[in-house]
Chains A and B, each alone.
Chain A
Amino acid sequence: ETGVTQTPRHLVMGMTNKKSLKCEQHLGHNAMYWYKQSAKKPLELMFVYNFKEQTENNSVPSRFSPECPNSSHLFLHLHTLQPEDSALYLCASSQGDLPGETQYFGPGTRLLVL
């Protein structure tokens, strides 16, 4: 239990569906992240929010839309996804302003796009 929770844990959706992934951290951190993890590929950073402001968008397609209403919650809204978007989506959080800070990961949402 890392203090970062994600729902749902598993999601199957069609290409025309709209769904949202939710992440919540109970660590009092100020930075939150979305990563994508595909088989045999490294973890890919998608978005970074620091103090609720988006500070990084790693050339992610617009069919992925993040939302950070406060420092404890992070959403990833999904719309018109493609089968190649099937992957494990990991949320993480960190303190946000320390040189040696560690990122704490949630358990992930396993997404399958049909």
Chain B
Amino acid sequence: GQNIDQPTEMTATEGAIVQINCTYQTSGFNGLFWYQQHAGEAPTFLSYNVLDGLEEKGRFSSFLSRSKGYSYLLLKELQMKDSASYLCAVRDSGGYQKVTFGTGTKLQVIP
């Protein structure tokens, strides 16, 4: 089975940097996703990591360490619109379709 842990809530200041951590314990591993979900809206894809290291995409970066079962999402130059829930999700080795989600981290950006 899969167990995914991430903090429930975080608060950060506009213009700052915030790091959202995710740890996972899985029976297999075939990639880790980060999704952003604004209140009342659908989750939207942010990043995908399958190899160790950092993937950078504009203001957002995602890091993976498979040996530690650990990932983080780094948000730079925070904007008010970044207030949302950030979902960590792991694909196990059972197939491309089966993805298990964490409970999400609700980020509040304050002025």
Contacts and interface: CB of A to CB of B under 8 A. Distances in A.
Contact of B44 (A45, A98, A105): A105
Contact of A106 (B31, B42, B50, B96): B42
Interface residues of A, number: 28
A41 B8 CA distance: 10
A72 interface: no
A99 B104 contact: no
Among B41, B87, B96, chain A packs the most CB atoms within 10 A around the CB of B96
Contacts of A100: 31, 48, 50
B28 to A, nearest CB: 13
B42 A107 contact: yes
Given A99-B50, A104-B45, A42 B31 contact: no
Most buried by A among B98, B99, B100, B103: B99
B40 to A, nearest CB: 8
Nearest to A103: B99
Interface in A41-99: 41-43, 45, 48, 50, 55-56, 90, 94, 96-99
A43 B101 contact: yes
Main secondary structure of the interface of B (DSSP, over half): loop
Main DSSP-derived SS at the A contact region? loop
B97 A48 contact: yes
Interface of B: 4, 30-31, 33, 41-45, 48, 50, 87, 89, 95-104
22 contacts: A33-B97, A43-B43, A43-B89, A43-B101, A45-B98, A45-B100, A48-B98, A56-B97, A90-B42, A90-B43, A94-B96, A96-B96, A98-B96, A99-B30, A99-B50, A100-B50, A102-B48, A103-B45, A105-B44, A106-B42, A107-B41, A107-B42
